[in-house]
Amino acid sequence: MPGRRRPRAPGHPPRLGPIPGVRRRWRVAAGPFRRLHEAVTRPARHFASDNYAGITPEAWAALAEANTDHAPAYGNDPWTQRAADLIREVFETPCEVFFVFNGTAANSLALAHSTQSYHSVLCHEVAHVEKDECGAPEFFGNGSKLLLLPGENGKLTPAGIEEAVLRRTDIHYPKPRVVTVTQSTEVGTVYTPAELRAIGAMAKKHRLRFHMDGARFANAVAALGCAPREVTWQAGVDVLCFGGTKNGIHVGEAVVFFNRELAAEFDYRAKQGGQLCSKMRFVSAPWVGMLREGTWLRHATQANRMARLMHELVSAVPGVRILFPTEANAVFVDLPKRAIEAMWAKGWMFYNFIGEGGCRLMCSWDTREEDVRSFASDLAAAMA
């Protein structure tokens, strides 16, 4: 019912609008022509989110390969075993691995598993767990509370963590028990191994567990060019929510416990949280496709490379201001309202409400150089 469609939330690009010069009655009657028109006149790839991108050929092929005959359900299949083993190979350690449907569930359940209801979780003030998970971490944590910390470029610091822990130690305050960081961060920056080791040491000093939201972990590792172990368990990370979706898997994130004691009974928590997939092989098989032969890092490297190109091109447009260092696959820019609207009107999709504000231009595994160049040239026209 057209009259009852939900309005767009602020910051979201408008829905695809009417085709100029085409009368409504004709448009309705000519659905296929309308779709064809849109296909040839609108950009095919956008910069709103890496969630807009499709599935990588490798993940897709593994999915098809898994779609033969029968296999045991609920994760007792060879694909899930293989995917977990590949994750252990990637991290070079015998970690415990659980697959869930999405990042909100991965973060919320991992945090809930690391706390009691009277505990608190220290996070950055723009962390996804705070801003974009609809209160799920507190819901699944039965009341455990997020405590928000400031920090430049979307990052926590050891000093900030210590200050938050020591601010109050009385019985009336929710006891800090976990520190969580996002790698790469919500504003497109990347924690270095040294920064993570320093946070890990501070966490250890104050008996905090160390959680990492790695929705874009692949982009961070590709950017740093380090071994995944250096930015996880060797830095003191207890549990990582390893993102698959944004890197080109259709659905699914892996909760990876380096602290294996902490993993005890997580399978029950995931089941209770509605996150145990019955046909699990279709969640785990794409991981096999992505983790074989470093495919996950190749795709993340492409997304990062496109973000660097975007940074270079849009920073040369007069009046455009880059807001944060471009270290992974996102570029944040400050644009005037009229330019934002002109770009949306041209069909480009991007958000202007994420992180600390500004427009987020997110590159994906399938972003091509021509997409970036075409966006930058439209932006130059919109800014003129």
Ligand X SMILES: Cc1ncc(COP(=O)(O)O)c(C=O)c1O
Instruction: Select from 80, 144, 180, 182 the one that contacts ligand X (CB under 6 A).
Output: 182
CA–CA separation, 199 and 196 (whole Å): 5
CA–CA separation, 228 and 209 (whole Å): 19
Least distance to ligand X from the beta carbon of 363, Å? 14
Q: How far is CA 151 from CA 156, 157, 328, in A?
A: 5, 7, 18
E strand or H helix at 369: helix 369-383
Instruction: Select from 56, 80, 104, 180 the one that contacts ligand X (CB under 6 A).
Output: 104
Pairing of strands 119-124, 175-182: parallel
Nearest to ligand X of 49, 259 (CB atom): 49
Please, what is the angle between helix 295-315 and helix 369-383, to 10°? 20
Task: Locate all alpha helices (DSSP H) within 74-206, ordered by sequence.
Answer: 78-91, 103-113, 128-131, 136-140, 158-167, 193-205
Whether 284 and 83 have beta carbons less than 8 Å apart is answered as yes
Please, which residues have CB within 8 angstroms of residue 83's CB and are 6 or more apart in sequence? 97, 99, 254, 284, 285, 287, 288, 291
Q: Is 45 helix (H, G, I), strand (E, B) or coil?
A: coil
Residue nearest ligand X (C-beta atom): 103
Least distance to ligand X from the beta carbon of 120, Å? 19
Nearest to ligand X of 182, 301 (CB atom): 182
Q: State the first-to-last Cα distance of the chain, in angstroms, to the nearest integer.
A: 40
Task: Sketch the per residue contact string, 319 through 358, with ligand X: x for CB under 6 A, - otherwise.
Answer: ----------------------------------------
Nearest to ligand X of 82, 216 (CB atom): 216
Instruction: Select from 56, 80, 102, 144 the one that contacts ligand X (CB under 6 A).
Output: 102
Whether 47 and 363 have beta carbons less than 8 Å apart is answered as yes
Is residue 238 at the binding interface for ligand X, with CB under 6 A as the rule? no
Task: Sketch the per residue contact string, 14 through 53, with ligand X: x for CB under 6 A, - otherwise.
Answer: ----------------------------------------
Which residues, 123 to 142, sit near ligand X by CB under 6 A?
A: 128
Q: Stretches 96-104, 113-121, 163-171, 193-201: which one binds ligand X (CB under 6 A)? A: 96-104
Is residue 215 at the binding interface for ligand X, with CB under 6 A as the rule? yes
Instruction: Select from 58, 130, 195, 213 the one that contacts ligand X (CB under 6 A).
Output: 213
Instruction: Select from 66, 90, 99, 103 the one that contacts ligand X (CB under 6 A).
Output: 103
Binding stretches for ligand X (CB under 6 A) = 102-104, 128, 182, 186, 213, 215, 245
